[in-house]
Amino acid sequence: MSLKQIKTDTGLARQLSAILESGKVVHAFLIAGGSPQRRSELGNEFAKALLCPEIPGDSCGKCLSCRKFDDGNHEDFIRIVRMDGKQSILSEQVEGLRSRLKFKPAGEKYVVLIEDAGSMNAISQNKLLKCLEEPLSETVMILLASGRDELLQTVVSRCSAYYIDGDYEDDEELRSMAAAFLRQSGQGAPYYKKKASIEPLLQKGEESRQRASAFADALEAECLEQLKRGGDDRTLFAAAEAAAELRKQIEQGHNVLYSLKQLCLKA
């Protein structure tokens, strides 16, 4: 599998892919929310793409790096999980990580994936914090947790954080919201009415960057569907262009609330 083949969290997978394509990769990422399986899938595919030298923004699945990753023997990939019978990641494991990172990677960089990072106690997190405060240029860390509140704020503040919502991106709520937004646009409704039609997105704010991106997908899909049914071309094309601009701004890291409000002004 690759980032582009992920089916459940396509909005977030696309954001991570865009980060790789831009070359603006920071030294630490936090992926929070959703189920452990969904977090693990995103984290692993992101790690694999970070190590792949062949395709900008994703993994090719064919090169030596990808084959090693899939076989579980990539020398520059470090996975940290709870040991059998333990309730948390131990401080000794974090110490071992710090010791290993003192050595140069075989390739361009180490990629470290810490599954269930929220299980670490304060002692372990503070030891990890030293790795985050003085990052090696050849290391990228990916922390997975059910919520940001499981981690010390000092740890979270040193990560670029992304959030998985409870529902998949193609759910009925997003499609209904897109249809309601287009109704307001087609009626020439004022800004505040269009804004009210997407209020659930505005309430989630920065913690739902990927859901706002998924809404852009739903809005474009609804525009296409209405065009097929003979809807007003001018209104629908304007909304589709605004949706594409929303997605672009989100992928570039713009403020989510600002981008959504711009959508209301432009569509």
- Alpha-carbon distance of 116 to 36, in angstroms, equals 8
130, 123 Cβ separation under 8 angstroms: no
Three-state DSSP class for 62? Answer: coil
pLDDT of 161 reads 86
Q: What is the pLDDT of residues 31-78, one digit of tens each?
A: 988 888 889 999 999 999 999 999 889 999 999 999 999 999 999 999
- Torsions phi, psi of 93, nearest 5? -65, -40
pLDDT of 143 reads 97
pLDDT of 207 reads 57
Choosing among 1.10.3720.10, 3.40.50.300, 3.40.190.290, 3.40.50.170, the CATH entry for 3-164 is 3.40.50.300
Q: What is the pLDDT of residues 99-155, one digit of tens each?
A: 999 899 999 999 999 999 999 999 999 999 988 888 776 899 999 998 888 999 899
pLDDT of 225 reads 81
Domain ranges across the chain: 3-164, 172-266
Three-state DSSP class for 2? Answer: coil
Question: Would you tell me how many other CB atoms lie within 10 Å of the CB of residue 192?
Answer: 9
Three-state DSSP class for 164? Answer: strand
Q: What is the pLDDT of residues 67-114, one digit of tens each?
A: 999 999 999 999 999 998 888 999 999 999 999 998 999 999 999 999
170-190: average pLDDT: 84
pLDDT of 124 reads 94
User: Does residue 205 surpass a pLDDT of 70?
Assistant: no
- Residues of the chain by 3-state class (helix, strand, coil), percent to 5: 60, 10, 30
- Res. 168 pLDDT band, cuts 50 70 90: very low
Q: What is the pLDDT of residues 207-251, one digit of tens each?
A: 567 778 778 888 888 888 888 788 888 889 989 899 989 888 877
Please state, in angstroms and as integers, the Cα–Cα distance from residue 242 to each residue in 14, 80, 212, following that order: 18, 42, 13
- Alpha-carbon distance of 197 to 178, in angstroms, equals 8
CA angle 97, 160, 24 (to 5 degrees): 95
Three-state SS letters, 89-150: CCHHHHHHHHHHCCCCCCCCCEEEEECCHHHCCHHHHHHHHHHHHCCCCCEEEEEEECCHHH
Q: What percent of the chain has pLDDT over 70?
A: 94
